[in-house]
Structure 1
Amino acid sequence: MRCNRVNHIIGLLCVICLTLQCMILFRNWNYVTRDRHAVTNATISEVQIHVIKQGASFNDDLLIRMSDPESLVYSVPNLGKRFLTIGIPTIRRQNNTYIFQTLTSIFNKTAEEDLREIVFVVFLADFDTGWKTSMAKYLYERLRIYIERGVLFIINAPSSFYPKLDNLKTTYGDSQDKVKWRSKQNVDYAYLMRFSKNLSEFYMQLEDDVVASDGYYNSIKTYIAEQKDEWICLEFSELGFIGKLYHSRDLENLSRLILLFYQEQPVDYIFAYFNVLMTQASRKIHKPTLFQHIGIESSLPGKIQPLKDRFVGFQKKKYMGDNPPARLFTTMKTSPDFPVETPYLKSPGYFWSHDNLKENDTVTIVFDNPQSIYRAVVATGTEQYPTDMIYNGELNACISLDSIDSTSAKCSNYVTIGRFVDGKIDANNISSKMGEFKIKCIVIRVTKSQPFWAIIEEIAVFTR
């Protein structure tokens, strides 16, 4: 009896506590909602950073206690869940600002109908309130149409969210300044993910110093639809934490892992660990990649970082030859990222030698069956790397295959059917040179060494 009375009292207290919590949450939600509408309706002359700091902190167990509206600087009321959120953190750099160029590039490359499916979240992540206020005003003045349509959110985090960033553990031999920079950057990512986790079905991380390729959004949607197996992360840039796409349902776990190791590991390592922990053992990189890094000045003061994505700029094949079944071999040093077969395939991509070209280096195409060929085109260099071409070389058509194994082939009885001019061979009327003989091999041969690498963008063979 006494026990039942105690249980009754405890139950009553729980009900009272729950009621009080609901009242507090309701009051806070009204306050947040009023503030959000106040921000949305602000005029340019009234621009300021609006932050509600209630309960937003970096607590001992590294979980974030925050309500999403606490972060808003500019947004409109929720217009429904989208297909994709693109998150972009930005901070002040010493001499350059790339964020407006990045946003302009992305908006210019996004079709009007696609804007209904995307929300962009720009996170003003610098600790300097004055810079954040001026940057918010700058972006509002230039991109107001996207803010008012609910396409662009501009957000901010209270300083109380961040851990202490002094006397951090040093790893990888980095200076204390670099450890502090990358640790804060990790917390930035975690905050941005937590804010964005309910906005859309998918989330993609970008940086504030990239430009987008034409048709990037349709390429993303197509690549997602093409996946036959379960996946955790799809990549649309080979660099750093640029263009990494996740299911939004995984953002909370990813942000937890980032916060758990925020001072031990750069984010480039953490997201790779996360993928493996979630059972995706290998990278899934869309090629061509869709975002090129343009920043030279890093957000780490004093650091110059002229990184370029090697896979941006893959163009659709121009000549689209018949290209009968064949095996390709080369004496040039190769990279797994740019296999020698790629220029012969009809899908985008190219072969990039992994060392300087030497005299008598070859690329040999061995047809499964001898062919009657009337035209052959070899195009080297690309729009992005126009000087990485073969300057001195020839194209030979061979009627005999002397030997072949898994790594090489030797062909003989050849006729020279073309020579490189401005990095290209376009050989016509091959039939008149070969007579009735069918061709078993075509061999690209370098006739003079060159002190730099070369790209073969396309090999097109036309048959009768």
Structure 2
Amino acid sequence: MRAKLVNWLTSLLVVMLFSFFCFCISRMTQTRNQLINCRNHILEFKESFLRLKNKTERNSQELTEVLSKLNYDIRRRKHVSINLVGKNVNTLDKNEIVSNTFEDLKFFFPHLRKVGRIYPDVIIGKEKADVSFALGISTVKRQTHSYLKQTLTSLITRMTPSEEKDSVVIVSIADSNEDYLKSVVDMITQKFKKQVKSGSLEVISIPAFFYPDMLRANQSTEDSQKLERWQTKQILDFCFLMLYAQPKAMYYLQLEDDIIAKKMYFTKITDFVRSITSNNWFYVEFSVLGFIGKLFKSEDLTEFIRFFLMFYKDKPIDLLLLDLLQVKMCHTGETPDKCAERNKQIRIRYKPSLFQHVGTQSSYLGTERYLKDIYY
């Protein structure tokens, strides 16, 4: 009996120990699973935290960019507002300056004194100004052929986008022929849409009443008088164009409607002008031919224009330019060699030439010119 009791107690103890052992294993397994789940939750939390941190950083960066852009827009609008206010305040002054510039014509041409406002007809233009360079081209109808499209293509396609942005090309139609005016405008609006849209290409027309009666009348049949009248009108064409271009740019480059430009001509001009250490130069020659490729400081143009208008009946414009140098720089009693040496410092010549004359049919009716720049 006692032995049975011991066996029963032993069996009970074994069962209890086994049950406890199973319970412990179950709890350990459960705990392990909980630990694994906890670890997974921690990892998920860590990943979520990292994602949130990255998103916060991106949002912070985007917010910073938005705030910066907002501040920039506020400053820009404030600046524009100030400029608009200044423009409104100074509109009268600006108009008066432009008007007064052309009012000088009345001193030289009495027939204009009864005219009100004197200003060329702006056919295509967006009032582009505050640029470094204005390129002026005066054009008239030739007998059978026009070189203007070739000239503009050469000039514009050989500019970089930044150079185009910092310049304005001005075509001045100095011809009363309405068909020619229309043909030029149609060609430019079709071929150079981008430049017209940006304001980098302008077209103006010189009204016939600008010219003295002697140039508007064609009663003379003598060739010498016709040539003289053609040369005289050409000088005035250049003067009117200079007056229009002067307030637009720091420098003015005189060209003609039958030339081509070298590759990178604009870059070479810019680099060369910046390399000139003295500001006392009078003009720079980028071509040795006539009045082609002559670069002036716009602030000096008034002096040139007035001199040309004083003597426009006497000589071609390239010879008047030399006469002005003589008057300005050669002292009384000075030897020609000494004067010529001084002129080299203010009349700067760039080599090789950047522009070549390609027209053979002259704008002077019925003549041909095979003129080439040997330094091109």
Structure 2-normalised TM-score?
0.63
Given the superposition, is the C-alpha separation of residues 197 and 256 from structure 1 closer, same or farther in structure 2, using an over 3 Å criterion? same
Determine whether 1:306 maps to 2:356: no
Q: 1:194-253 CA distances to partner (integer Å, 9 max, x unpaired)?
A: 001110000010000000001111111122122233201100001000000000011112
Other-structure match for 1:289: 353
Q: CA deviation at 1:167?
A: 11
- The total of aligned residue pairs comes to 258
Q: Is the partner of 1:254 in helix, strand or coil?
A: helix
AA paired with 1:268? D
Structure 1-normalised TM-score?
0.52
Q: Could you tell me whether the CA contact under 8 Å between 1:165 and 1:183 is conserved in 2?
A: no
Q: Could you tell me whether the CA contact under 8 Å between 2:149 and 2:187 is conserved in 1?
A: no
Other-structure match for 2:282: 232
Given the superposition, is the C-alpha separation of residues 249 and 272 from structure 1 closer, same or farther in structure 2, using an over 3 Å criterion? same
Other-structure match for 2:267: 218
Correspondent of 2:327 among 271, 277, 288: 277
Distance 1:158 1:236 in 2: 30
Other-structure match for 1:59: 106
Q: CA deviation at 1:255?
A: 1.1
Paired residues for 1:222-371 under 5 Å: 222-229=271-278, 230-279=280-329, 281-282=343-344, 283-312=347-376
Determine whether 1:149 maps to 2:198: yes
Q: CA deviation at 1:180?
A: 0.7
AA paired with 1:258? F
Determine whether 1:198 maps to 2:247: yes
AA paired with 2:137? I
Correspondent of 1:95 among 144, 156, 160: 144
Q: Could you tell me whether the CA contact under 8 Å between 2:172 and 2:241 is conserved in 1?
A: yes
AA paired with 2:293? G
- Provide the identity percentage: 30
In structure 1, list runs of 5 or more residues that go unmatched.
Answer: 1-24, 30-54, 313-464
Q: 1:330-363 CA distances to partner (integer Å, 9 max, x unpaired)?
A: xxxxxxxxxxxxxxxxxxxxxxxxxxxxxxxxxx
In structure 2, list runs of 5 or more residues that go unmatched.
Answer: 1-90, 96-101, 330-341
Distance 2:126 2:158 in 1: 23
Q: 1:59-105 CA distances to partner (integer Å, 9 max, x unpaired)?
A: 35349888686431101143x41001100000000011000000001
More strand by share: 1
Q: Could you tell me whether the CA contact under 8 Å between 1:58 and 1:160 is conserved in 2?
A: no
More helix by share: 2
Q: CA deviation at 1:57?
A: 9.5
Higher relative contact order (CA closer than 8 Å, sequence separation 6+):
2
Q: 1:366-385 CA distances to partner (integer Å, 9 max, x unpaired)?
A: xxxxxxxxxxxxxxxxxxxx
Given the superposition, is the C-alpha separation of residues 82 and 225 from structure 1 closer, same or farther in structure 2, using an over 3 Å criterion? same
AA paired with 1:59? K
Root-mean-square deviation (Å) = 2.8
AA paired with 2:356? Q
Distance 2:123 2:132 in 1: 23
Given the superposition, is the C-alpha separation of residues 232 and 62 from structure 1 closer, same or farther in structure 2, using an over 3 Å criterion? farther
Given the superposition, is the C-alpha separation of residues 118 and 166 from structure 1 closer, same or farther in structure 2, using an over 3 Å criterion? closer
